[in-house]
Amino acid sequence: MNKKLALVGLGLAFLLLLCLLPLPYGFYTLVRFISMVVFACMAFTYYEQKNTTLCVIAVALVLLFQPFIKIALGREIWNVVDIIVAIALIIQWYKTKE
């Protein structure tokens, strides 16, 4: 993963953590759209690097976060998902930084 994409992932982690706050619904939809684009870019990068495992994970996250056919998990579960994905993105950024 290149450093620029990892930095974008760090920004996405910040947005995902902001989703824990009670914000207007439009913000959550915007974050889902941004997440979909970022994870699609990550999937393409992993595909080019022939890293099948991370490519499949990124594609699964694209499908989970895409805003067109919403997956109703409930607020509590989405909060847990947001935290887990944010932590993973922060770890990925940290590993890329070294």
Query: What proportion of the chain, given as a percentage, has pLDDT over 90?
Result: 80
Q: What is the pLDDT of residues 40-55, one digit of tens each?
A: 999 999 999 999 999 9
What is the domain extent for residue 18? 3-97
Is the per-residue pLDDT at 66 higher than 80?
yes
The token duo for 37 is 């684009």
pLDDT class of 1 with cuts at 50, 70, 90: low
Instruction: State mean pLDDT over 61-72.
Output: 90
Is the per-residue pLDDT at 77 higher than 90?
yes
Residue 67 makes CB contacts below 8 A (sequence gap 6+) with 29, 32, 33, 36
Angle between helical axes of 52-65 and 25-48 (0-180°, round to 10): 160
Is the per-residue pLDDT at 69 higher than 70?
yes
Number of folded domains that form the chain: 1
Is the per-residue pLDDT at 17 higher than 90?
yes
- Phi-psi map region of 50: left, alpha, beta (phi>0 left; psi -120 to 50 alpha): left
- The distance of Cα 16 from the centroid of its chain, to the nearest Å, equals 8
